[in-house]
Copies of this chain bind each other. A is one copy, B any other.
Amino acid sequence: MSDLLERLRGRGWRLTAQRRVVAEVLNGDHVHLTADEVHARAAARLPEISRATVYNTLGELVSLGEVLEVATDGRAKRYDPNAHRPHQHLVCSRCGAIRDVHPGGDPLADLPTAERFGFTVSAVEVTYRGLCPDCARN
């Protein structure tokens, strides 16, 4: 946790109370939170923190590679602090719940150069969509 803060400081981040709180919220629980949820939890500790700051900080964490953004199709993006271990996502189409999965294998390797059309491919996202046990039961 504080190594995250150390890493950030090492990269020239100014360590403000707001950034600290956002980083702590993400690291606290291994749940995939929306920006709004991050804001709510951060505001519980630092009531005057603004939405814009949360968005900025999340964006910076994402571009530093410390956090992953998970698109959930229509709903709000969710943020996944578990960025260092490669993994994919299982997303419930009804409620938006997300679980990390670790199937192994490198999906990037499956894409032959001939199929890349000149794109510089830097990431692969594999998203399994379906219903979570609760929604399937419904």
Q: Please report A residues at the B interface, Cβ cutoff 8 Å.
A: 69, 71-74, 77, 90, 92-93, 99, 101-103, 105, 107-108, 110-112, 115-133, 136
Main secondary structure of the interface of A (DSSP, over half): mixed
Known: A73-B77, A77-B73, A107-B107. A115 touches B127 (CB 8 A): no
Residues of B within 8 A of A125 (CB): 125-127, 129
A115-B103 in contact (CB<8A): yes
Contact call B132/A119, Cβ cutoff below 8 A: yes
Which of chain B's residues have a CB closer than 8 A to the CB of A127? 124-127
Which residues of chain B come closer than 8 Å to A133, judged between CB atoms? 117-119
Indicate if the CB atoms of A116 and B90 lie closer than 8 Å: yes
